[in-house]
Structure 1
Amino acid sequence: VRDVLSEVYDPCCRDKGISVVDMGLLHRAEIDSGAARVELMLTSGWCPFAARVLTDIESAVRSIPGVDTASVQLVWDEAWTPERLSDSARAKLRFLPDPATVDDPASYVAKKLATQQDDGGLS
């Protein structure tokens, strides 16, 4: 299931090529007697693309040989956190630190952009 879902992209990160697996949205998946059950987390309960993600995941899981039925359930009792990101997703997203930890946000951003340009990170 994980392999198939590695080809399903988070709609908010499709342009960066980040799958639902790399985003850490996959909570649990199992196949039992042809019935697949996937538990998914969202980065936000207000995700406007939740229905699309659920449909894409269900379609992908149904394509697995031997799967007759597939259900996708949202996990509401556990919150998604950035720690769930894969290393590759984290590198692609380049999260900024908590603003409360940065004395001068404008200088911080300018310095980070300059560093990325020096490293060839921006074109």
Structure 2
Amino acid sequence: MPEIPRWASQALSGVYDPCCREKGISVVEMGLIRSVEVNEGLARVELLLTSGWCPFAARVLTEVRERIEEQPGVREAEVEVVWDEAWTVDRLSPRAARMLRFLPDPAQVPDKAAYVARREQR
């Protein structure tokens, strides 16, 4: 995964996919930002979506662009959804993964009742 500049991570840490806003998980923690580059005041941001059917994509793209354009040295920003890489849960920050608690692949749970019982004890 390319390193996202610290200034960009900080600027985008308050941008949320509406599905995760109530949990306080930003697009940075979701791993939706693939890259940020600035050349002569023009910023280019590559963004992944959790789903190609995300109904909030336009809103997220707009908010990312606005936040990047507010940064010193940036006069304009382009935000592009990239399709050559799929978003996976591996991109989640450790905090986001803990908060979302994704369930394992059903094939990895041979005894469903035992798995559910263990989860209920937590």
Which of 12, 20, 39 does residue 32 from structure 1 map onto? 39
Which of 20, 24, 33 does residue 17 from structure 1 map onto? 24
Q: Distance in 2 between matches of 1:50 and 1:109?
A: 34
In the alignment, structure 1 residue 102 sits paired with structure 2 residue 109 = yes
Question: What amino acid maps onto 1:83 in structure 2?
Answer: D
Report the TM-score, using the length of structure 1 for normalisation: 0.86
The equivalent of 2:83 in structure 1 is: 76
- Encode CA deviations 1:58-83: one digit per residue, 9 max, x unaligned: 11111112211111001101111111
RMSD over aligned CA atoms reads: 1.3
The equivalent of 1:45 in structure 2 is: 52
In the alignment, structure 1 residue 63 sits paired with structure 2 residue 70 = yes
| TM-superposed deviation, 1:113 | 2.5
In the alignment, structure 1 residue 90 sits paired with structure 2 residue 97 = yes
Question: What amino acid maps onto 1:8 in structure 2?
Answer: V
Work out the percentage of aligned pairs sharing the same amino acid.
60
Give 3-state SS (helix, strand or coil) of 2:58's partner.
Answer: helix
Specify every segment of 5 or more residues in structure 1 that has no aligned partner in the other structure, as ranges.
116-123
Question: What amino acid maps onto 1:67 in structure 2?
Answer: V
Question: What amino acid maps onto 1:93 in structure 2?
Answer: L
Q: Paired residues, what number?
A: 115
Q: Distance in 1 between matches of 2:95 and 2:79?
A: 25
Higher mean C-alpha deviation, range 38-47 or range 99-108:
99-108
Give 3-state SS (helix, strand or coil) of 2:19's partner.
Answer: helix
